[in-house]
Amino acid sequence: MRSLVLKIDVDTYRGTLIGVPRLVELLLRHHADASFLFSLGPDHTGRAIKRVFRRGFMKKVSRTSVLSHYGVKTLMYGTLLPGPDIGRCCSGILRSVGDAGFETGIHCWDHIRWQDGVRHADARWTERELQLAVERYKEIFGEAASVHGAAGWQMNPHALRLMQRLGFSYSSDCRGRHPFLPVWNAEIVNCPQLPTTLPTLDELIGVDGIDEQNVHEQLLALTREAPTNGHVFTLHAELEGMKLLPVFEKLLLGWQAQGYKLTTLRDLAASLDPYYLPRHEILWGGVPGRSGELLVQGAEFLSEMTA
């Protein structure tokens, strides 16, 4: 059977409080599985204001109506309002997702801090941010997380190495075409990457006549043919769990009609033999519809021993 992984990034307090329960209800109703990756520390969404100086950011904001998706209060967290501690305030909601049978994992500690700071951060900074998230996850769920999915698809070499050391079995930190073992500057990282293979809704809406009424048709056209290992689609509790929930439901029904089993990163990882995974460079690149650079899957890496 065709498989399509639903990877749900939860970025904010509001998304956790409102979007996550709505997504759980919808998924259960349609007998669909998914992986929920949580932000576990403070919500400092308001600090994203400094991104106005990033090329392409204001264009994306105007296309996707950030205010209507996130709300005024969320956009003040970390500036005019203190940022709520998501893991502490919403621990019951987080546990209920696991209790409902869904896979849970780590997105980050502080979403804005990681997304805007990790690329050029040193080893000490990186380890502290990851360790905070790892400890909070274990405090909430009573066990270690198996999966990590980086905020904004942003990482650095220290973070990639820590995937192994902190015990993650697999991660989804980049955009790409199929599962692989990442190679950073000729250094092989022994933690499989399960990259996001499809564009996100906010990358498509507002481009070439695509809007909230027809964006599902664009995505369903991209999934008519299934690659060997299926697809990974990333959605957000703040978008598909709220204003875009009706759009997401159309996608669920459309993918099921196309014959897809809607599944988890855990199930995808279990279907792979890491020994036979291809090795690919992991590097910085752009993605249409998204501002700035993020990690992308590069060319297959052939060492001197295997060339």
pLDDT digits (tens, 9 = 90+) for 11-68: 999 999 999 999 999 999 999 999 999 999 999 887 665 544 345 444 544 445 554 5
Residues, the chain = 307
Q: Can you tell me the distance from the alpha carbon of 34 to that of 24, in angstroms, rounded to the nearest whole number? A: 9
Is the CB of residue 192 less than 8 Å from the CB of residue 180? yes
Is the CB of residue 197 less than 8 Å from the CB of residue 180? no
Contacts 24+ apart (CB under 8 A), 281-288: 281/182, 281/183, 281/184, 282/160, 282/174, 282/182, 282/183, 282/184, 282/189, 282/193, 287/175, 287/199, 287/203, 288/199, 288/203, 288/207
CATH number of 2-170+230-274: 3.20.20.370
Is the CB of residue 11 less than 8 Å from the CB of residue 107? yes
Is the CB of residue 5 less than 8 Å from the CB of residue 264? yes
Q: Nearest 5°: phi and psi at 17?
A: -70, -40
| Helix, strand, coil abundance in the chain, percent, nearest 5 | 40, 20, 35
Does residue 9 surpass a pLDDT of 60? yes
Sign, Cα dihedral of 133, 140, 95, 101: positive
Is the CB of residue 215 less than 8 Å from the CB of residue 235? no
Is the CB of residue 95 less than 8 Å from the CB of residue 141? yes
Least confident piece of the model among 51-60, 83-92, 165-174, 273-282: 51-60
177-228 tens-digit pLDDT: 999 999 999 999 999 999 999 999 999 999 999 999 999 999 999 999 999 9
Does residue 93 surpass a pLDDT of 70? yes
Classify the phi-psi angles of 152: left when phi > 0, otherwise alpha if psi is within -120 to 50, otherwise beta.
left
Cα angle: 214, vertex 26, 99; to 5 degrees = 145
Could you count the other beta carbons within 10 Å of the beta carbon of residue 210? 19
